[in-house]
Amino acid sequence: MGNVPTSVKHCLSYEQLIQDYPWLGSRLQEEKEMVPTRVKIQLINMLSETGLPVIEATSFVSLKWVPQMADHTEVLQAIHRSSHARYPVLTPNMHGFQDAVAAGATEVAVFGSASETFSQKNIYCSIDASMLRFEEVICTAKQQQIPVRGYVSCALGCPYEGPIEPTKVAEVVKRLYELGCYEVSLGDTIGVGTPGSMAKMLHYVMEEVPSSALAVHCHDTYGQALANILTALQMGICAVDSSVAGLGGCPYAQGSSGNVSTEDVLYMLHGMGIKTGVDLSKVIEAGDFICKALNRKTNSKVAQARSKSS
Amino acid sequence: FSFFNISPVQWLVQVGASAGKALPQRVKIVEVGPRDGLQNEKTLVPTEVKIHLIDMLSEAGLPVIEATSFVSPEWVPQMADQVEVMKGINRRPGVSYPVLTPNLKGFQAAVKAGAAEVAIFGAASELFSKKNINCSVDESLQRFEEVTKAAKEAGVRVRGYVSCVLGCPYEGQVSPDKVAQVAKRLYSMGCYEISLGDTIGVGTPGGMAELLEAVSREVPVDALAVHCHDTYGQALANILIALQMGISVVDSSVAGLGGCPYAQGASGNVATEDVVYMLHGLGIQTGVDLPKLMDAGAFICRSLNRKTSSKVAQATCKL
């Protein structure tokens, strides 16, 4: 199975107060109300204290699309950056990239899709056209020695196209990797994947890109996330995206869950003796904080169980 | 974690690699919603609702549906209508409707009410046994032996459960060897299947694998089932590992009925809908019709006036 990691290299956690995709700015979300900048900053600072090695801080997309991220510069400049962590920011294009760098970003992320229809509906262009856009960003980033992480959405299914061919996913992942992304995160955007489809997709993707450059970004909309992550680990993946308290619902199924909770992922990994360097109880605290601030319940089962144990 | 003397991830990869060839083609789902689920729900459910639920579950293709419990109604008022339920349900040919029987008295009442299969509950933790049924594990096994003897004579099948297999709310860690011993005794006394229950849902895949290794040395893996709780969100991952280790019987509860009595408000049973979704996604047959199952879940949630705990049910109805 190739290189077997002795521990999960890092567990990526990102703050998601609104969905990733710019066009969804006006869409439903339980956390519709604008979250105050100081709350965002405090959350990120608390997450930095947990030992999480990567924390996605904000997004440099147009304020029109994602008003929630209008304070991106303020957030990036105000957070206390731990020497043990990295703080990537989303940059959909050159404009966003330049703003991000001006604000002090030292790592960026670009979002592609394995589904043509999703790409069209989401960022109003084809996959090919989006790759050209990303190429610009990645080339410039390379010159400035700024690492770029790639994301591929709809890796296990698309809300419009339904099932997505694993070969198509592999093609898009390969393109992002060859353009220069140091890592590509495979997103099960609508959470429909199961260990069966996850294993199949990874099999094809890993023929094109080494497992050390891959990550999984599982959504828990159908409760499959941990089983899917386990499958990915078994196939040699050692980077996992998750969201504290499972923040961020699924925009395609109102009221349903989206992101898998960092707490639940950590519980599983630690239970299996896999090292992450993260302090679970501190993540739970951060989760408690943001849930209070947003006036909503946590989506993390671990957090729920811990707070209710007699 | 010193399972194979290799790192946990190496071990995981090994199990995964061999699993591709070893995953069962068919998994039997044991639906515990009407008993285990409802027993742990605060709202008292009218008899006709229980009967209708069981009938809907039968229609959904579930091969085993735990119908009720012949414990004293003083202890479990939710199950006071045990006889009525047994007599009222529409038994589908080929489907089993086991009932819980804590002792000989309960067994006799169950058989009188028409039960063709019964279930007995042991524990792998002494403290849990004492607090739960007021006697030691050994004493409880002696009690169960009376039941299995009588069951043999009456031609009634007996399923054994072991609780606290991956942790106990009082004792904390539980030794896999202790679980194996209890499972072995239940199997030797005549239980055709032993269901291993992660009662407080604290187990993770590593612990599950270690447990199954130990137990399958004493009881054939074909005679084992897993009963995972989702209190810490680990159920599906634990079930997946169990399948990879040769388990092909999984307990679950429609709509994830039945909270965790040890962590109030926290979830308990894993939702059948979510399990079936995963199994079907793996190409494993269950005989279950997921939409019909979801109808049963929707029905009981309406009756209980509670939200479903199944993520599949939550997702699908809103798309």
Comparing alpha-carbon positions, the chain B residue that sits nearest to A191 is B315
Query: Is pLDDT at A233 greater than 80 in this prediction?
Result: yes
Which is nearest to A209 in space by CA: A265, A130, A152, A157? A152
Cα separation values, A176 from A114, A131, A183, Å: 11, 8, 9
Residues 6+ apart with CB under 8 A from B228: B197, B198, B201, B203, B234, B235, B236, B238, B239, B242, B250, B251, B270
Answer yes or no: are the C-beta atoms of B272 and B220 closer than 8 Å: no
Instruction: Please state the rounded mean pLDDT for residues A217-228.
Output: 96
- Which positions of A are catalytic? 250
Residues 6+ apart with CB under 8 A from B181: B218
Task: For residues B135 and B153, give the distance between their C-alpha atoms in angstroms, rounded to a whole number.
Answer: 26
Instruction: Please state the rounded mean pLDDT for residues A288-302.
Output: 93
Largest CA distance in chain B: 55
Answer yes or no: are the C-beta atoms of A72 and A22 closer than 8 Å: no
A58: contact with B, CB 8 A cutoff: no
Average pLDDT of chain B is 92
Burial of residue A140 (number of CB atoms within 10 Å: 0-12, 13-18, 19+): middle
DSSP state of B33: I
* Predicted local confidence at residue A308, as pLDDT: 67
Residues 6+ apart with CB under 8 A from A61: A22, A69, A90, A92, A96
Q: A152: part of which helix (H) or strand (E)?
A: strand A148-153
Query: Is pLDDT at A270 greater than 60 in this prediction?
Result: yes
**Interface contact B264-A310, CB threshold 8 A:** yes
Give φ, ψ of B144 to 5 degrees. -70, -30
**Interface contact A305-B232, CB threshold 8 A:** yes
Which is nearest to B134 in space by CA: B182, B180, B160, B102? B102
Chain B residues lying within 8 Å of A287, measured CB to CB: none
**Interface contact A235-B271, CB threshold 8 A:** no
Task: For residues B89 and B68, give the distance between their C-alpha atoms in angstroms, rounded to a whole number.
Answer: 11
* Predicted local confidence at residue B12, as pLDDT: 67
DSSP state of B190: T
Spell out the per-residue pLDDT of chain B, length 319, in tens. 344 456 666 666 666 666 555 799 999 999 999 999 999 888 899 999 999 999 999 999 999 999 999 998 888 899 999 999 999 999 999 999 999 999 999 999 999 999 999 999 999 999 999 998 889 999 999 999 999 999 999 999 999 999 999 999 999 999 999 999 999 999 999 999 999 999 999 999 999 999 999 999 999 999 999 999 999 999 999 999 999 999 999 999 999 999 877 777 678 999 999 999 999 999 999 999 999 999 999 999 999 999 999 999 999 754 3
Among A99-108, A115-124, B11-20, B222-231, the range scoring the smallest mean pLDDT is: B11-20
**Interface contact B204-A268, CB threshold 8 A:** yes
* Predicted local confidence at residue A309, as pLDDT: 54
Chain A residues lying within 8 Å of B315, measured CB to CB: 191, 221-222, 250, 253, 256
In this prediction, residue A23 has a pLDDT band, given cuts at 50, 70 and 90, of very low
Query: Is pLDDT at A17 greater than 50 in this prediction?
Result: no
In this prediction, residue A229 has a pLDDT band, given cuts at 50, 70 and 90, of very high
Q: Which residue from A196, A273, A300 is facing B281, i.e. has the nearest CB?
A: A196
Answer yes or no: are the C-beta atoms of B234 and B210 closer than 8 Å: no
Cα separation values, A270 from A62, A236, A262, A296, B305, Å: 39, 17, 12, 27, 37
User: How many CA atoms lie less than 13 Å away from B189 in the CB half-sphere?
Assistant: 25
* Predicted local confidence at residue A127, as pLDDT: 97
Which is nearest to A271 in space by CA: B108, B256, B207? B207
% of chain A beyond a pLDDT of 70: 86
Structure tokens at A39: 């709350």
| Secondary structure percentages of chain B, helix, strand, coil, to 5 | 45, 15, 35
A301: contact with B, CB 8 A cutoff: yes
Q: What type of residue is B7?
A: S
Query: Is pLDDT at A77 greater than 90 in this prediction?
Result: yes
**Nearest C-alpha of chain A: how many angstroms from B205?**
7
**Interface contact A310-B263, CB threshold 8 A:** yes
Structure tokens at A223: 């409760």
Query: Is pLDDT at A5 greater than 50 in this prediction?
Result: no
Burial of residue B43 (number of CB atoms within 10 Å: 0-12, 13-18, 19+): exposed
In this prediction, residue A16 has a pLDDT band, given cuts at 50, 70 and 90, of very low
Q: Which residue from B1, B232, B271 is facing A301, i.e. has the nearest CB?
A: B232
* Predicted local confidence at residue A35, as pLDDT: 83
Structure tokens at B276: 């079936």
**Nearest C-alpha of chain B: how many angstroms from A142?**
33
Query: Is pLDDT at A20 greater than 80 in this prediction?
Result: no
Q: A90: part of which helix (H) or strand (E)?
A: strand A89-90
